[in-house]
Amino acid sequence: MHIVIDLQGAQCESRYRGIGRYALSLAVAIAKNRGDHRVTIALNSIFPASIDAIKAEFDGILPPSDIRVWRGIAHVHSRDPNNRWRREAAEQVFETFLTDLAPDVVLVLSLFEGFADDVVTTVPQTSAFSTAVLLHDLIPLIYKESYLTDPLRSEWYYRKLAQLRRADFLLSNSASSAQEAVDHLGYREARIVNVSGAVDTRFHPREISPAERQRIGQAYGITRSFVFSAPGGFDQHKNVGGLIEAWSKLPNAVRSAHQLVLGSRIMPTTERRFSKRCRKLGLRAGEIVFTGYLPDNDLVALYAMAKLCVFPSQHEGFGLPALEAMACGTPTIGGNRSAVPEVLGHPDALFDPMSSASIAAKIGDLLQDSSRLDTLRQHALKQAARFSWDHSATTAIAAMERLGGPRPTTLPVVRPQRLAVVLPDASLRSGAGHRLRAFLPALSRRYLIDLVDASGEIDPNTLQDDISRCDLRTFRARADDYDQILYCLGGGLGSATVADLARKIPGAVLLTDLDPSDRLERTPALEERVELIRYCRGYVDFASTGSDPATVQPGGPLVQDALAEAVAVFAGSEALKAAAAEAGLAGAEGWPVIAFRHQPALGPSMPRETAREQLGLSDDERAIAVCCDPLSSQAAIDGLIRLEDDAQAEGLAPHYLVLASGSSADRSRLARTIANAGGLAADRVTVLSPAHAQSFAAVCAAADCAVASGGAVEAGESGLVLDLADAGLAVVLLSDHAPAGSISAALAGTAQPSSRLEPSPTLDAPSDDRSLPPALADALDRAYGTRQHHRLRRDAVAKIAALGPPPVHDPKHLEAVKDDWFKAAQSVALSLPPRNAPRQLLVDVSELLQRDARTGVQRVTRSVLREWLEHPPAGFQVQPVYATPDQNYRYATRFTLNFLGYGIVDVPDSEVDFSPGDIFCFLDLQHHVALSHRDYFQLLRSHGVRVHYVVHDLLPILLEGIFPQSMKALHEDWLAAVAESDGAFCVSRAVANELADWIRDAGLVDRHPFHIGWFHHGADFSGLQAWTGLPADANAVLGALAERPTFLMVGTIEPRKGHAQTLDAFEALWARGIDVNLAIVGKKGWLVDDLVKRMERHPERGKRLFWLSGVSDEYLERIYDTSVCLLAASRGEGFGLPLIESAHYKLPILARDLPVFREVAGDHASFFTASDGKELAVAVENWLQLYRKGEHPRSDAMPYLTWSETAARLARAVINDEYLIELKI
Amino acid sequence: MARLIPFKDIRDRLKSLDKRKRKYLSTKAILSVRGILPSKFRRKMERRLEKYGPNTGSADGGDRVIRNARISSLVQDMRRLAAEGTD
């Protein structure tokens, strides 16, 4: 049995109340005790904050795939009547979502939701599954004069009651609630099962230390022994007023020795009201204590410390606080009404809650009789032990087994199923259609079949009697009338039309070829062409830079869009299935293979003389039937010319009977092209349609042999070729490897008929297995029987449309009404996502797209992005995306084509679409976009998209005073957003550890696992758009640098980079007569105005001090070559790219002793610690001495990665979620 | 001559309403004289009006509407079917 639990009650405001906690505890217990049953938890992504916490509750109990998230619609709460359209639309989507899960039972754990928030609970009027509702109580109905005075609330409540009555059976939290359903709703007793409830394990007897007693006493003003009551609210039926009145009636001695502590969250106005009442009753100050909200630990402590617990409620569905108190071993008394007696389970623990005298008498008697208190204390633990969530869960499961299961369907309508078979062209003898031919008899026994062909030229004479024809226009208009649709999608003519239809009207797809050429030929517009390739294949085909994106040819299949929503995909052969899997088509490994079975043609036969007469051939004229590639006129002509050359070499002049599929217009075009081509006698060429039965019969009878080019066979004409062989013709496959003389042998009749025919690479050998014909019908039935995904979505759309346009309550809100359509559609799209969509690696390039600041971060972004675009990770398409703070995420198509060298291409950037299994990677650093789209990222995560960030450093936070304060705050906000994601990949282990420490210190560790991984930068220039060019004074500068040992610093001039300290050090060195250069390469950053002035006015500038700003990659390379040492004096780095660039140029390194520099350079650099310029000067001098002796550490052997390796490693880590640290509560 | 509604009636009417709606209406009434309210109190009331007013911010915190190709296509279908239904 498949049980789906609607757990929205644990997501909304109720999650802070008993109902939410009850729902979650029971759901977890059902999942734990499910046995062989399958349990799925249904959550609503309108409440994203709760999803991670709930998933954590089921961690290790249910597989993550069994926690399914649907998308509701915002603004559906019932307290605003204007929300009605949205609420009804959301209900339709929710019901469809539940149906899609194919449950046997749906268990609604909190039905009475959605008045003040956007919960959508429902009990479908008709469904294939049964619905159980957990009834907590009917208090608003029983006390309607108190609770249902507001018309809106009343309307909402009665609507929910109507839904409750529709439920197939009820689970109740107590026998009392079950009886209420019978008494007040007339519900059948046999359909209600009491599953009771339990308390959390943290409620248990415990010793309270004196220190804790003191703390609690001080915190809540408790000064003496006390009676405790946690009423769970101050509603009228909670009877707190009655308890206070009863307290006032207690003897003075009792009141003087005790306090009454009321432990529940209370509004100030309510507290004032009760205080006033206390004064009126003559109670002294401090006699009654209102604690307000109690943390769980304090609540348990108060239960344990209390002398007696009182639960005065006049009506309860269950009475959870009473059970909590007893579980802590405290004597507990309560009212003798509703569910409380069954929870308390002892006659001496009961009083009449309607009588304050009765309450007072019971409290007074017990406080003065310790033996009765002891009896109740002992009873409390025994009674509490009778309640457990496991018991509740097993009772609930047993009830569902007994009363649940699929609903009996209404009387089945006995009518044949209607099947539309959509073919690319008229011929059932070629391509995908040919594959189908063998299966048609078996299909026609099971379905009423309409054959739809893209070309509209099916010859009715070729069809079985029980198969009818349908034109495209009719099919499009009446597609909903078909029970099943089967698309035959090959690579030949018409496949573009079939693919477009399969995309728009999903059905099952029999895929027989992956050749994409027809789709591109039929998509001439640049915009559509680029979009098609981008959607199906990402940018891998654009990566081999060309000048015109219109000429880009895809290197693999272009069918992903047609398959994204397919009900099922069947592979035409094992070879095709393997090729599809290799090309990364989603789910290809699981496609059933519908093996090819050749069905001999059953067309008319004809005497040879008649046929020749009809074709205008003389008796002695040789005739060759030619199967040509239907997609390429040029290939057909080339084949004919080659044939003609061979024939002339043998002294023959045969007549060519060219069989060309496609439309008559295509054949006319081919005939004209042949007539205009040189080297062919056009009067010896006749072009015919193989789909025309009479023409084909005439060709079979009249021809002396048949020739098919390899291209023709591969293009899907194999069926035609087999038919020619069946007709007794010798068929020669004309390939580059065909032996000379084969045609003349065929013409002379010396070749064995069909002996040379071999299957093409994408075609399995024909099978004679008699069991094959029903295979397709069975596979179709299976697919349509279990996967009604697309149909459900269509139904949801139709039901929402049936609500009519969203009403306009206020003309000012016209735009919002327009949004309502989109919100409803978004709800449908996210709740029922496509199942075969290509998996995307969405890469954020928001910053790079706006401006390439040529910082280290952007160097990483550019290099990794280029590698990913050129070599996408297996099974993923790399899709650069961008957003602005105000605009949604879009595919960065225009930017990416420009990035790949196509210049500015006028194509639109469409909004991002996503499906479960996609990955979003924030490669670039753009604080504002990340912060303004936090909700969007949570939406992605809720719907199965993993979100990862790349963290380059935490320097604005860690280095005080070096960055502007605003940057620190911004970076902290950004890191807080990062911590909400699935994980981060840092540019070094050092940064990974820093990030983990920061998240822990900031208290941002959450219940969802946050993974921190790391990778290292690459170090070559090959992946970059090389920036070349030298300034006019380059040679002079390089010459000066070569005159004496040059220490090089590379990086933006910022306080943290240590330029000022280094300049101090070199001034000291120069003063001591040490003749060295200091070359600083980098542009001016922030907070360095004084330093810049100092460098600009420095007496050594241009002599021994060089500051080079804005140097090209080429110039920098020359500077590296001229220097003797890289001086890395930075006080903090994420990675320190110049270190490995130095290693790349074999330049020795003198670096500050930072963990990240140690991590990158290891033993291949010298390290220094220096608090001022003098100490650094000593370090430089020491290094120079070693250098002069040749004893300095060399960087030559320092290991580093290329950008290609870096990109591959990062992709692997992101996709496989490889991490170093896991943070989780 | 216009007659003032007795305060008791107003109070009873408000009491019969949902708590959130009651807060919304009372806040709206207070803000009808916003010109004479102290600025701190006025801001507090404005926040309260926003909180309890109808159609307040959704639980998901964001009102961005996604308009990608798939969703736009569903919207087209809905509109077409709705138009057919009303023909």
Q: What is the pLDDT of residues A243-301, one digit of tens each?
A: 999 999 999 999 999 999 999 888 888 899 999 999 999 998 889 999 988 888 899 99
Q: CB distance B55–A834 less than 8 Å? A: no
Task: Between A636 and A63, name the one with better pLDDT.
Answer: A63
Q: CB distance A935–B61 less than 8 Å? A: yes
Map A641-668 to HEC letters: HHHHHHHHHCCCCCEEEEECCCCHHHHH
Residue range B23-42, pLDDT digits in tens: 888 888 898 888 899 988 99
Task: Between A933 and A727, name the one with better pLDDT.
Answer: A933
Using the structure block, give the residue that is written with the tokens 């580059």. Answer: A736
In A996-1083, the DSSP E strands lie at: 1010-1014, 1046-1050, 1077-1081
Cα–Cα distances in angstroms (integers) from residue A693 to residues A162, A407, A440, A603, A667, in the given order: 64, 51, 18, 6, 16
C-alpha span between A335 and A139 (Å, rounded): 16
pLDDT score for A974: 94
* pLDDT for residue A1123 is more than 90: yes
Residues in a beta bridge with A707 = A626, A732
Task: Compute the average pLDDT of residues A627-654.
Answer: 75
* pLDDT for residue B61 is more than 90: no
Residue range A517-546, pLDDT digits in tens: 667 777 778 888 888 899 988 998 888 766
C-alpha span between A1144 and A1022 (Å, rounded): 12
Q: pLDDT band at A760, cuts 50/70/90?
A: very low
Chain B contact for A500 (CB, 8 A cutoff): no
* pLDDT for residue A817 is more than 70: no
Residue range A1055-1064, pLDDT digits in tens: 888 999 999 9
C-alpha span between A1204 and A751 (Å, rounded): 55
**Where is average pLDDT lowest: A351-355, A965-969, B62-66?**
B62-66
Q: CB distance A802–B68 less than 8 Å? A: no
pLDDT score for B58: 41
* Contact present, A406 and A104 (Cβ < 8 Å): yes
**Where is average pLDDT lowest: A812-826, A830-844, A854-868?**
A812-826
* pLDDT for residue A390 is more than 80: yes
Quick one: which of A959, A966, A971, A973 has its CA closest to A857?
Answer: A971
Residue range A3-51, pLDDT digits in tens: 999 999 999 887 777 788 889 999 999 999 999 999 999 999 999 888 9
Cα–Cα distances in angstroms (integers) from residue A972 to residues A966, A985, A1002, in the given order: 10, 17, 9
C-alpha span between A601 and A578 (Å, rounded): 30
Using the structure block, give the residue that is written with the tokens 């024909």. Answer: A766
* Radius of gyration from C-alpha coordinates of chain B: 21
pLDDT score for A962: 76
Q: For testing the chain B interface, which of A828, A879, A893 should be mutated: the one with the most B CBs within 10 Å?
A: A828
SS3 A820: helix
Task: Compute the average pLDDT of residues A305-334.
Answer: 93
Q: Retrieve residue A860's tokens.
A: 């990483």
Give the list of residues 6+ apart from residue A1000 with CB closer than 8 angstroms, or none.
A1223
pLDDT score for A766: 45
What is the enclosing helix (H) or strand (E) of A896? helix A893-899
Q: Which residue of A has its CA nearest to B68?
A: A911
Task: Between A609 and A1212, name the one with better pLDDT.
Answer: A1212
Q: CB distance A797–B81 less than 8 Å? A: yes
* pLDDT for residue A447 is more than 50: yes
Q: Provide the 10 A C-beta neighbour count for residue A67.
A: 20
Q: pLDDT band at A1107, cuts 50/70/90?
A: very high
Q: CB distance A152–B54 less than 8 Å? A: no
Task: Between A1160 and A711, name the one with better pLDDT.
Answer: A1160
Residue range A858-867, pLDDT digits in tens: 888 888 999 9
* pLDDT for residue A763 is more than 60: no
Q: Which residue of A has its CA nearest to B52?
A: A116
Task: Between A636 and A381, name the one with better pLDDT.
Answer: A381
Q: For testing the chain B interface, which of A11, A12, A77, A890 should be mutated: the one with the most B CBs within 10 Å?
A: A77
Residue range A978-1033, pLDDT digits in tens: 999 999 999 999 999 999 999 999 889 888 889 999 998 887 655 444 566 788 88
Q: CB distance A798–B81 less than 8 Å? A: yes
Residue range A46-73, pLDDT digits in tens: 998 889 999 999 999 999 999 999 999 9
- Which range of A205-219, A416-430, A669-683 scores highest in mean pLDDT? It is A205-219
Q: CB distance B68–A912 less than 8 Å? A: yes
CA distance A1143 to chain B (A): 47
The side-by-side arrangement of strands in the sheet containing A288-290 is A288-290, A259-262, A226-229, A308-311, A332-335, A350-351
* Contact present, A871 and A884 (Cβ < 8 Å): no
Residues of A in contact with B20 (CB under 8 A): 79, 116
**How high does pLDDT run on average in chain A?**
85
* pLDDT for residue A617 is more than 50: yes
* pLDDT for residue A429 is more than 70: no
Q: Percentage of chain A surpassing pLDDT 90?
A: 42
Using the structure block, give the residue that is written with the tokens 């550490």. Answer: A1193
Closest residue to B18, CB basis, from A79, A118, A824: A79
- Which range of A488-497, A626-635, A643-652, A1070-1079 scores highest in mean pLDDT? It is A1070-1079
pLDDT score for A499: 87
Please state the pTM of the whole predicted model.
0.80
**Where is average pLDDT lowest: A181-185, A189-193, A551-555, A820-824?**
A551-555
pLDDT score for A168: 92
Chain A contact for B50 (CB, 8 A cutoff): no
Task: Compute the average pLDDT of residues A670-676.
Answer: 80
* pLDDT for residue A949 is more than 90: yes
Q: Percentage of chain A surpassing pLDDT 70?
A: 88
Cα–Cα distances in angstroms (integers) from residue A131 to residues A168, A243, A317, A1148, in the given order: 5, 40, 21, 74
Q: CB distance B60–A797 less than 8 Å? A: no
Map A542-596 to HEC letters: CCCCCCCHHHCCCCCCCCHHHHCCCCEEEECCHHHHHHHHHCCCCCHHHCCECCC
Judging by beta carbons within 10 Å of its beta carbon (0-12, 13-18, 19+), is residue A1090 exposed, middle or buried? exposed
* Contact present, A400 and A352 (Cβ < 8 Å): no
Q: For testing the chain A interface, which of B51, B71, B87 should be mutated: the one with the most A CBs within 10 Å?
A: B71
Q: Can you spell out the DSSP letters for A1133-1147?
A: -SS-HHHHHHHHTT-
CA distance B16 to chain A (A): 5
- Count of pairs with CB atoms under 8 A, one residue in A, one in B: 110
Chain B contact for A801 (CB, 8 A cutoff): yes
Q: pLDDT band at A768, cuts 50/70/90?
A: very low
Chain A contact for B77 (CB, 8 A cutoff): yes
**Where is average pLDDT lowest: A816-825, A983-992, A1160-1169?**
A816-825
pLDDT score for A756: 38
* pLDDT for residue A738 is more than 60: no
Task: Between A114 and A627, name the one with better pLDDT.
Answer: A114
C-alpha span between A543 and A868 (Å, rounded): 10
